[in-house]
Amino acid sequence: MMKITNYLRYGLRDTFRALWRHKAMVAVTVLTVAITFMVLGAAVLISANGQYIEQNLENDMEIVVFLDTDVTVDERGAIEQAIQSLDGFDSMRYVTKDEALTIMGERFGGETGLTNALGGTNPLPDAYYVKMQEIEKMPAAAAVIENLAGVELVRYGQDTVQNMSAFSKALWGGCIAIIAAMVVAALVLVNSTIRLTVSARSEEIAIMKYIGATDFYVKIPFFLEGVILGIIGGAVAFLLLYFGYGAAIDYAGEHIAFLSLITDRTLVVKVGLYLLLGGAVLGGIGSNIAVRKYLRV
């Protein structure tokens, strides 16, 4: 136990000396790590909110099946049976033309006024409103329904479904490319920062190895230096994400009422913990690469 304590005391002492000696390089490294993990964290938060919004849309989106005005009872029965047998079918409700007129009247200032505006007639058709378990199932389901006898028209918000899918793929593709580039940059900078310290102490390291010091004893201050750099960068990224996400929630609530975001900040805290862990791992890897060649004595 005493031996481990001595190792840590020695490692931390030399670590903070090295960090203070190379303040400018440390600042650049921490900034790069912070930006890297902030982009990564933002991508995770955007993805989580995208899935949340998509789930809400799935709950709200329906396939609207407008029926012919002369649809028969038998045709209606066949339509219902076909809809219920669809892959991914969830639920269905039937709305008559009179019920549809009442609903529209409530939205546009009263059924009587709407009826008068329509010349005393009701041009709305009877319709089925169909929910699917996943919005990805909607195009195939709509294609089946529109070919059924007695169906006049099918609508399900095709553009919304397609745009969401395309946006999600483009977003992830862009984020992955940026994150990969930033991780490489952060690794290089952590490596370079620690290499400065290692290079300045190369003669001392050679002497330590010559008199029998273990690799662990030699590596520990450099390893701790990398880990601390990574953790500080991860912590900075976490703080920026935490307060930035809070501001985004407040702004969306005031100016973009239709945009429903995850308001529970537990998600940000979880992401932040992973960023701290990721920073430690990244720093440890960078320091290990930097010091490895100097141990070959």
d(CA 229, CA 5): 22
What are the residues whose beta carbons fall under 8 Å from the beta carbon of 100, sequence distance 6 or more?
124, 125, 126, 127
Q: Which two tokens mark 103?
A: 């609903």
d(CA 205, CA 213): 9
- Which residues lie across from 64 on neighbouring strands? 129, 155
pLDDT tens-place string over residues 103-141: 776 666 555 555 555 655 777 889 999 998 887 888 899
Task: Give the phi and the psi of residue 92 in degrees, each rounded to 5.
Answer: -150, 145
Q: Which two tokens mark 4?
A: 């481990």
User: pLDDT per position in the chain (297 positions), as tens?
Assistant: 445 555 455 555 655 665 666 676 777 778 888 888 888 888 888 878 877 877 777 677 889 999 998 889 999 999 999 999 999 999 999 999 888 877 776 666 555 555 555 655 777 889 999 998 887 888 899 999 999 999 999 988 767 666 766 776 777 777 777 778 777 877 777 777 777 767 766 776 677 677 776 777 777 777 877 888 889 889 999 999 999 998 888 888 777 766 778 888 888 999 899 989 988 888 888 777 777 766 665
- pLDDT recorded at residue 144: 94
H or E stretch including 92?
strand 89-95
- pLDDT recorded at residue 65: 94
- pLDDT recorded at residue 238: 94
Write the DSSP string, 123-173: -PPPEEEEEESSGGGHHHHHHHHTTSTTEEEEE--HHHHHHHHHHHHHHHH
Contact 275, 66 (CB under 8 A): no
Calculate Rg over the CA atoms of the chain: 31
Q: Which two tokens mark 61?
A: 């989106």
pLDDT tens-place string over residues 221-254: 778 778 888 898 899 999 999 999 988 888 887 7
Tokens 């862990």 identify what position?
A: 277
Tokens 């190895």 identify what position?
A: 209
- Read off the DSSP letter of residue 294: G
H or E stretch including 67?
strand 63-67
Contact 294, 198 (CB under 8 A): yes
H helix and E strand count, the chain: 10, 4
- Read off the DSSP letter of residue 293: G
Domain positions in the chain are: 2-57+162-295, 62-156
- pLDDT recorded at residue 6: 52
- Reference 221, options 128, 284, 173, 276; nearest CA is 284
What are the residues whose beta carbons fall under 8 Å from the beta carbon of 283, sequence distance 6 or more?
33, 190, 225, 226, 227, 228, 229, 230, 231, 233
- Which residues lie across from 91 on neighbouring strands? 131
* Architecture of the domain delimited by 62-156: 2-Layer Sandwich (3.30)
